[in-house]
Amino acid sequence: MEAFPRTIFDETHDQFRAAFRGWLDDRVVPNHEEWERDGITPRDLWFDAGKQGFLGLTVPESYGGGGTNDYRFASIMTEEIGTTGVIGSGNGITLHNDIVLPYYLELANDEQKKRWLPGMCTGELIGALGITEPNTGSDVAGVRTTGVKKGGVYIVNGAKTFISNGINSDLVITVCKTDPEKGHRGFSLLIVERGMKGFERGRNLDKLGMHAQDTAELFFNDVEVPAENLLGEEGMGFVYLMTNLAQERLGIAVGAIAVADAAVKWTLDYTKERKAFGQSISQFQNSKFLLAELATEVQIAQVYVDRCIELHCEAKLSAEQAAAAKYWCTELQNKVVDRCLQLHGGYGYMREYPIARAWADSRIQTIYGGTTEIMKEIVGRSLTR
């Protein structure tokens, strides 16, 4: 079955896709397994990404960035990382670009932009977002880390966990409770920088998948954060988080469909070559029916996601639409990858096959960025209010 032609990209996007895919094939793919074993990508990868113009696409050129507000370029990077199977090695870059940087672009004052943005475009400064805590996941309002203002500094105490880029990061947007009496209006965003006294990193967490993506525990023990490191207005942290979550969730959906599509293609190739009972596995009715089901559902999801990308580029994508895309596409990703692994038989369980790595890398998708259950709550609340 011929795939539906995608109409959201033009020649400039196609050229960018080719350039980024070429960089992945040359710089990332050959080293991915080594970085997976190491549990982290090296700093020089970040410097190289910055040199090639793959960091800070949306940052104004005056600060060393790409100067584009076209989200389609970001979606291309996410898709290519997914289809090449190097999610662990590439996920930190897309997080830096698409999840962390928007906070700086929207909230930082001129002095902060001059201080941080150039380094975030060259790879000298790697960003992370510190929300999740040992006892707080999807319930952002349950954050317990405190930032008590004393004179010209905030004294930060608390802990974060499951923080992507946690080991490599130089700048951590840290969600703190700065006024416990004000509920949702009592949260602020403070930039905690590498080297600040009392700021410590715990272990690089041993995850099921995405091993090359450093994910860490962070600890804050009387860290003195200058008031100049307050991002945006005090007390507006919760509002800022809710505003930026739509793009994060859309990005997860984009990656989910890219991996699902790749899984179907890997499986088609494998089942055509693998023989059983005198014929290729692809010729059995069960294989045909299952592959037909998976390929069709992936194409349907791709059309929805492409429409979401268009809406986001027009600043019209709603939180509910992004939540629906995130929950549906990540659930589909896990379904597709799991059933494609089954068609690989015993070889599907071997990590030398991309389907095995994709299976492990995919499982987190329905959890981070807001669980499937939370996404359904968001969509359901909009339908019944």
CA distance 90 to 345: 28
Q: What is the pLDDT of residues 133-149, one digit of tens each?
A: 998 766 777 899 999 99
Give the chain's end-to-end CA distance (angstroms, integer). Answer: 41
CATH 1.20.140.10-classified regions of the chain: 242-384
Report residue 3's pLDDT band, with 50, 70 and 90 as the boundaries.
confident
Of 39, 124, 157, nearest to 89 by C-alpha is: 39
Report the pLDDT value the prediction gives residue 73, as an integer from 0 to 100.
98
Q: Which amino acid is at 342?
A: Q
Report residue 282's pLDDT band, with 50, 70 and 90 as the boundaries.
very high
Report the pLDDT value the prediction gives residue 94, as an integer from 0 to 100.
98
Pairing of strands 199-204, 230-231: unpaired
Report the pLDDT value the prediction gives residue 55, as an integer from 0 to 100.
98
Q: Which residue(s) pair with 226 in the sheet?
A: 153
Q: What is the pLDDT of residues 80-121, one digit of tens each?
A: 999 999 999 999 999 999 999 999 999 999 999 999 999 999
CATH 1.10.540.10-classified regions of the chain: 11-125
CA distance 249 to 375: 10
Contact (Cβ atoms closer than 8 angstroms) between residue 325 and residue 250:
yes
Residue with tokens 């291309």: 76
Mean pLDDT of 360-368: 97
Report residue 184's pLDDT band, with 50, 70 and 90 as the boundaries.
confident
What is the value of pTM for the model shown?
Answer: 0.96
Report residue 34's pLDDT band, with 50, 70 and 90 as the boundaries.
very high
Q: How far is CA 347 from CA 213, 239, 313, 353, in A?
A: 25, 47, 41, 7
pLDDT at 229 over 90: yes
Report the pLDDT value the prediction gives residue 99, as an integer from 0 to 100.
97
Mean pLDDT of 282-309: 97
pLDDT at 313 over 90: yes
Report residue 314's pLDDT band, with 50, 70 and 90 as the boundaries.
very high
Question: 163: helix, coil or strand?
Answer: strand
357: number of Cβ within 10 Å: 23
Question: Phi-psi region for residue 71, left (φ > 0), alpha (ψ -120 to 50) or beta?
Answer: alpha
Q: Which CATH class is domain 128-235?
A: mainly beta
CA distance 217 to 105: 26
Query: Is 217 labeled as catalytic in the residue annotation?
Result: no
Contact (Cβ atoms closer than 8 angstroms) between residue 77 and residue 86:
no
CATH 2.40.110.10-classified regions of the chain: 128-235
User: Which CATH architecture describes the domain 242-384?
Assistant: Up-down Bundle (1.20)
pLDDT, averaged across the chain: 96
Report the pLDDT value the prediction gives residue 385, as an integer from 0 to 100.
85
Contact (Cβ atoms closer than 8 angstroms) between residue 144 and residue 220:
no
Residue in 36, 248, 293, 320 annotated catalytic: 248
Residue 159: both structure tokens together = 């802990």
Angle at 198 between CA 197 and CA 200, to 5 degrees: 110
Report residue 183's pLDDT band, with 50, 70 and 90 as the boundaries.
confident
Topology adopted by domain 11-125: Butyryl-Coa Dehydrogenase, subunit A; domain 1 (1.10.540)
